[in-house]
Chains A and B, each alone.
Chain A
């Protein structure tokens, strides 16, 4: 997981949003969203709350009744999409350990029968990468928000994805967790994985992303971070309130 000595050819897909419209009820969530994500890059999406970022990701995962053409161009045989949600709530008393959660997410065998021998090495490796190996017997509800977010990151690693969709993975992470995440991001970049990444931390986007799209119902900008994240553009991005607009 050191710096990329040689970058492998991209094995992740290219994504093409071709004028996506999304209307839920009478509210226009997305309007003619058109941009593309180059294969093997880290593509960040920024924008205000309610700007349609999460809806765009759900559209990509096939869970929204959108209009318009949305195409994934897979270069190879393997077509695995990893998804890390923003946060998952667990009741403190829920008797589900980290291992149980990983088993439920990663294997077909019922989790109460224990980890399957086939995925055990992969789960061990994923937990080690996020630094949760020594807390694998803890209950999910007893973990801190940052630790839980690390477990969510770990499940996104199994099986090894070619496209990784991250919904604000850093919001709950602590300082150490952010370092773990940055290492993972470097690893994905080296492996040629396409990463679509929703993020609020503009400093992290500037430092880590290859390209950034500003989304607030429409695409306001789509450029490399150094050009995109200028004060004028950011003021424009965060000054509109698309939630108050309606079709009626």
Chain B
């Protein structure tokens, strides 16, 4: 058996090539691991007709939104007891914000609350530049989540139809909240 061996020039050429190839391999491996094992970005995009409760509301609106969600639990309990949704007057007498009329509610837009037979509480804002008008739509059953909508113009007409499409057409926007990674990681001031 005969074999010709060509002596290759020494130099950094092949070594550089090997180092580059190894680097590419490492990058590909790392990319593969990230692609296979990495977690998705879990920040959710919101629809055009929605408002993010954390970012898109004014301070007064955020307070009202939170109060409405707390009040919703009370409303659900009263609803179970009485088999009917409590009136705005009863809620105000119980001292439940935002229905109660006090210094806090006056500074946050002085909303005039009314009960809509379709199954919703409508709060008309007297100062739309501080806080828009709010609409709390109760779910049909006793268990469910409240649906809260907001509009910032000064229209005082109550909505005829509580369907989503009709509300969107009338200029209402749904307030939604997400608990995602951005809550803890992002700092917007």
Contacts and interface: CB of A to CB of B under 8 A. Distances in A.
A62 B8 contact: yes
A191 B180 CA distance: 80
Contacts, number: 40
A71 B2 CA distance: 13
A76 B3 CA distance: 8
A75 B2 contact: yes
B9 A64 contact: yes
B7 interface: yes
Interface size class of A (residues with CB under 8 A): 10 to 19
B117 interface: no
B13 to A, nearest CB: 8
B10 A71 contact: no
A147 B16 CA distance: 42
Contact of A72 (B4, B9, B10, B11): B4
A79 B2 CA distance: 11
Interface in B3-29: 3-11
A119 to B, nearest CB: 25
Interface in B65-110: none
Interface in A70-89: 70-77, 79
B36 interface: no
Interface of B is mostly: loop
Contact of B1 (A13, A67, A69, A77): A77
Contacts of A75: 1-2
A74 B3 CA distance: 5
Nearest to A59: B7
Contacts of B11: 65
B165 to A, nearest CB: 76
Contacts of A2: none
A65 B10 CA distance: 5
A74 B2 contact: yes
Contacts of B2: 73-75
B6 A69 contact: yes
Interface of A: 13, 59-60, 62-67, 69-77, 79
